[in-house]
Amino acid sequence: MTFPIDICEEAGVRTLHFGSDWIQGAMRIARPWHLELDYTKDMMASLLLREDARFPRKVLLIGLGAASLTKFLYRNCPQAKLAVVEIAPSVVAAARQFFKLPDDPKRINIVIGDGAEFIASTRQDYDLILVDGFDAEARAGDLDTRPFYDLCRARLSSEGILVVNLLGLKRGFKSSYARIEEAFDGRCLAFPSCDSGNVITFATAGDPVCVSLEALREEAHRLKKSTGLNLLPTLSRLEEAQSCAGGVFRL
């Protein structure tokens, strides 16, 4: 599959488009390793949810875009090996040429292919599966189906967490969330949408996640100090939405 690739720059930010106005990824040119878009920051809240300092060791990213998540994990989680599935070779080429995607096959395995087909064929378990795949019209296709979410569940390790970007501007996210909820027996939580309308959903089927918002804030301070990523606004939105009964995040 090929996408028409457009690269735009404004106010020091380079953006990736698939022949439409939808932003498929962004990079602040002066800070190429940092996360520019709010929803990508929300997705990295997954790093706060496990106490193991080695988490995550094996990561699957479905959808490369401008390689923002790939670069952040590569830079800040040196223990992690990353498998990235991207359906369009032109997106990989653009990520290398314009968005500083590292060339390190020992830690980053780029697979050109369909994410749903990959998850159905692999036998590898992952600590973290990040799903952020859309076409030029912001459609996720087979990446937003009950069979796909069932397969993601089967490929998570005992500590594994699934993180899905549900783009909620056009058709709403409730039906997508319901499919995840069914696949994971209710063990999922949608973060309040950020300004772009993206709703990030977390799910697990293994070891329980049970951590107070206070502990999450403490961990967020440590993550900010070590990586520059500030997740405190994300946690404030979560608290204001009263999504965590008793001030405890549970999955």
Of the residues 125, 132, 150, 195, which is catalytic?
132
Residue 132 annotated as catalytic: yes
SS (HEC) of the chain: CCCCCEEEEECCEEEEECCCCCCCEEEECCCCCCCCCHHHHHHHHHHHCCCCCCCCCEEEEECCCCCHHHHHHHHHCCCCEEEEEECCHHHHHHHHHHCCCCCCCCCEEEEECCHHHHHHHCCCCEEEEEECCCCCCCCCHHHHCHHHHHHHHHCEEEEEEEEEEEECCCCCCHHHHHHHHHHCCCCEEECCCCCCCEEEEEECCCCCCEEEHHHHHHHHHHHHHHHCCCCHHHHHHHHHCCCCHHHEEEC
Residues tagged active-site: 132
